[in-house]
Amino acid sequence: MSTQQRPPIEQEAIKWFTLVRSDQNLAQHVAEFEVWFHANIAHSRAYREIEKRWEFFGQFADHPATVAALREARNTIKS
């Protein structure tokens, strides 16, 4: 499923999941994440689903392709 086909809430959850786990986990981002996460039950559900997927595929976390994809996602968020 491409990014354009994902529901907006899932796209937001992916963005937050990536940002919270990034090297740029600044206090401002954490505060903004907390507001987003608690603003709507659908947000927290979507985020938890992303966490579950990450845990399931965790064995691939250090794979070079995964590292490259995360780097690309972080760069997309920055721009």
Q: Which amino acid is located at 26 in the chain?
A: L
Q: What is the pTM of this model?
A: 0.63
Highest mean pLDDT among 13-17, 21-25, 37-41: 37-41
**What are the structure tokens assigned to 1, written together?**
């499923």
Give Cα 56 to chain centroid, integer Å.
Answer: 15
Residue indicated by tokens 């206090």: 27
What per-residue confidence (pLDDT) applies to 30?
85
Residue 40's pLDDT band, with cuts at 50, 70 and 90, is very high
